[in-house]
Structure 1
Amino acid sequence: MRRGFLLLSILLLLMASCELYYEEPVQRGTVRIVSIGITYENEPEEVADPEDEKKDKLGDLPGTVYDARELSDALKQQAMRAGWDSEDIKVTLLLQEGEDYSEVTVNDTGYASRANLKRTLEIIQGTATVDDLTIITYSGHGIEETGELLMAHTQTSGTVDISEDSPIVVTPEWLHDLIRPIEGKKLLIVDSCYSGVFVPESSSSLSWLYDKGIDDWYGKYFSDEEYEIPSCMVLTASADSDSYEIKFDDHNHGVFTSALLAALGWNHTTEEIANGVPPAAQNEMLTIDSIYKYIKKNQTYPVRWSLFSIGENVQHPMVTGGAMDMLLFRY
Structure 2
Amino acid sequence: MHMKHLLLLPIVLLLLGCELVYQHPEPGTFTHVAIGLNYRGTNASALSGTINDAREQEAAFASLFSNRDSSAYLMLQKGSSDDSYDNPSSPSLPTRERVTTLLSALVENQQEQDLLLITYSGHGMEDGSWVLAPDDASGTIFLDATTVDPSLLLSVDELFALLAPSKGTTLLIIDSCYAGNFVLESGTSVSLIDPRSIFSDAYEAYFSKGSYEKKVFVMAATTADNTSKEPIGGSHIHGYFTEALLGGLGWDEESQSLLNKPSSLSLDGLYCYIMENQRIKLSGTYQAFYQHPTIVGGPLDLVLCQDVN
On whether the aligned pair clears a TM of 0.5, the verdict is: yes
Distance in 1 (alpha carbons) for counterparts of 2:170 and 2:49: 25
The DSSP-based 3-state class of the residue aligned with 2:150 is coil
User: Are the equivalent residues in 2 in contact too, given 1:21–1:326 (CA < 8 A)?
Assistant: no
Q: Which residue of 2 aligns with 1:315?
A: 291
Q: Which residue of 1 aligns with 2:117?
A: 135
- Specify which of 134, 138, 148 is matched with residue 157 of structure 1: 138
Extract unaligned runs of 5+ from structure 2.
Answer: none
Offset, 1:24: 2.7
Q: Which residue of 2 aligns with 1:65?
A: 51
Q: Which residue of 2 aligns with 1:246?
A: 231
Q: How many residues of Structure 1 are paired with residues of Structure 2 in the alignment?
A: 289
Q: 1:164 to 1:174 in 2, by over 3 A?
A: farther
Q: Give runs of aligned pairs for residues 1-331 of structure 1, distance below 5 A.
A: 14=12, 17-18=15-16, 19-26=18-25, 28-43=27-42, 57-80=43-66, 83-84=67-68, 88-98=69-79, 99-101=83-85, 105-144=87-126, 146-157=127-138, 159-161=140-142, 163=147, 166-201=150-185, 205=189, 220-223=201-204, 225-226=208-209, 227-239=211-223, 240-246=225-231, 250-275=235-260, 277-278=261-262, 284-305=263-284, 313-331=289-307
The DSSP-based 3-state class of the residue aligned with 2:21 is coil
Distance in 2 (alpha carbons) for counterparts of 1:62 and 1:139: 11
Distance in 2 (alpha carbons) for counterparts of 1:317 and 1:112: 25
When structure 1 is superposed on structure 2, of 193-202 and 236-245 the one drifting more is: 193-202
C-alpha distance after superposition, 1:149-176 (max 9, x if no partner): 1111223338424747711111100011
The DSSP-based 3-state class of the residue aligned with 2:57 is helix
Offset, 1:140: 0.4
Q: 1:79 to 1:158 in 2, by over 3 A?
A: closer
CA RMSD of the aligned region, Å?
Answer: 3.1
2:271 maps to a residue whose letter is Y
C-alpha distance after superposition, 1:263-317 (max 9, x if no partner): 0000111111124x42xxxxx4211100111100111011122xxx878711100
User: Are the equivalent residues in 2 in contact too, given 1:25–1:329 (CA < 8 A)?
Assistant: no
Q: How high is the sequence identity, in percent, across the aligned residues? A: 31
Offset, 1:42: 1.4
Offset, 1:258: 0.1
Extract unaligned runs of 5+ from structure 1.
Answer: 44-56, 208-213, 279-283
User: Are the equivalent residues in 1 in contact too, given 2:176–2:228 (CA < 8 A)?
Assistant: yes
User: Are the equivalent residues in 2 in contact too, given 1:204–1:228 (CA < 8 A)?
Assistant: no
Distance in 1 (alpha carbons) for counterparts of 2:244 and 2:125: 23
The DSSP-based 3-state class of the residue aligned with 2:237 is strand
Offset, 1:14: 3.7
1:316 maps to a residue whose letter is H
1:272 maps to a residue whose letter is S
User: Are the equivalent residues in 1 in contact too, given 2:134–2:141 (CA < 8 A)?
Assistant: yes
When structure 1 is superposed on structure 2, of 122-131 and 246-255 the one drifting more is: 246-255
Q: TM-score, normalised on structure 1?
A: 0.78
C-alpha distance after superposition, 1:55-94 (max 9, x if no partner): xx421002101100000100010111xx32xxx1101011
1:129 maps to a residue whose letter is Q
User: Are the equivalent residues in 2 in contact too, given 1:204–1:323 (CA < 8 A)?
Assistant: no
1:75 maps to a residue whose letter is F
Q: 1:63 to 1:220 in 2, by over 3 A?
A: same
Q: 1:107 to 1:27 in 2, by over 3 A?
A: farther
State the 4+ residue runs in structure 1 displaced beyond 4 angstroms.
Answer: 10-13, 162-165, 217-220, 309-312
Offset, 1:234: 0.3
C-alpha distance after superposition, 1:24-73 (max 9, x if no partner): 34554110000000001111xxxxxxxxxxxxx42100210110000010
The DSSP-based 3-state class of the residue aligned with 1:119 is helix
Q: 1:200 to 1:12 in 2, by over 3 A?
A: farther
User: Are the equivalent residues in 1 in contact too, given 2:141–2:152 (CA < 8 A)?
Assistant: no
